Structure 1
Amino acid sequence: MENFYTYREFNNYAQIKDVTSITARVYTVGNLAITSIIVETPKLIGKTTIKFPIKYKASPFVTFQDNDTASTPPGPLGINWTNLDSIEVQGFNGGFTMLVVGAI
């Protein structure tokens, strides 16, 4: 079982305007990658592209979780379709976590 999966952590792997930190934890099992990305921001972020720490073979499944009930902005949230290595978001107001699952 010790070689069943691999784990990697990426701290502040991308520079994003108005984001104070971005951390990713990547678990891989065979050709499947499960990535948790924690984004911390002290204020409302505009249209922003968030890079994944790894590249996927096909567009991955992405879901968002509000970390502290502060993500609710005064306007609508924008979550665009995923690319192989990023997703575009808009209107988040505080920290949030993304879960990204896909083939690598």
Structure 2
Amino acid sequence: MENFYTYREFNNYAQIKDVTNITARVYTVGNLAITSIIVETPKLIGKTTIKFPIKYKALPFVTFQDNDTASTPPGPLGINWTNLDSIEVQGFNGGFTMLVVGAI
């Protein structure tokens, strides 16, 4: 069981306008990668491409949790189709958490 999975952490692995911090935690079991990405931003972000810290072999499943703790209401949230290495989002305010699951 010791080598059942691997774990890697990536801190500020991408430079994105209006994003103060981006952290990813990647758990790998065989050819399956489960990635948690936390994005922190002090204001509403416009259309932005979020890069994954790893590249997937097939389109991954992606889900979001809006972490909006700011007092201003968020804009209309937009989540585009995923790519093998990124996804385009818009309208998040204060940050969000993304879960990405797919084959590597």
Percent of aligned pairs with the same amino acid: 98
- Is the partner of 2:9 in helix, strand or coil? strand
Pairing 1:20-35 to 2, within 5 Å after superposition: 20-35=20-35
Q: Report the Cα offset of residue 69 of structure 1.
A: 4.4
In the alignment, the residues of structure 2 paired with residue 72 and residue 61 of structure 1 have an alpha-carbon distance, to the nearest angstrom, of 30
In the alignment, the residues of structure 2 paired with residue 71 and residue 103 of structure 1 have an alpha-carbon distance, to the nearest angstrom, of 38
Q: Report the Cα offset of residue 70 of structure 1.
A: 4.1
Q: Report the Cα offset of residue 66 of structure 1.
A: 2.0
In the alignment, the residues of structure 2 paired with residue 18 and residue 47 of structure 1 have an alpha-carbon distance, to the nearest angstrom, of 11
- Is the partner of 2:89 in helix, strand or coil? strand
Q: Report the Cα offset of residue 76 of structure 1.
A: 1.3
Where does structure 1 lack aligned partners over 5 or more consecutive residues? none
Where does structure 2 lack aligned partners over 5 or more consecutive residues? none
Name the TM-score, length of structure 1 as normaliser.
0.94
Change (3 A) 1:26 1:71: farther
Asked whether the 8 Å contact 1:72–1:92 carries over to 2, the reply is no
Asked whether the 8 Å contact 1:71–1:93 carries over to 2, the reply is no
Asked whether the 8 Å contact 2:68–2:92 carries over to 1, the reply is no
Deviations 1:64-85 (A, max 9, x none): 0122444984431110000000
- Is the partner of 2:14 in helix, strand or coil? coil
Name the TM-score, length of structure 2 as normaliser.
0.94
In the alignment, the residues of structure 2 paired with residue 59 and residue 23 of structure 1 have an alpha-carbon distance, to the nearest angstrom, of 21
Asked whether the 8 Å contact 2:59–2:102 carries over to 1, the reply is yes
In the alignment, the residues of structure 1 paired with residue 27 and residue 59 of structure 2 have an alpha-carbon distance, to the nearest angstrom, of 17
In the alignment, the residues of structure 1 paired with residue 66 and residue 19 of structure 2 have an alpha-carbon distance, to the nearest angstrom, of 15
Q: Report the Cα offset of residue 95 of structure 1.
A: 1.4
In the alignment, the residues of structure 2 paired with residue 89 and residue 25 of structure 1 have an alpha-carbon distance, to the nearest angstrom, of 20
Asked whether the 8 Å contact 1:50–1:87 carries over to 2, the reply is yes
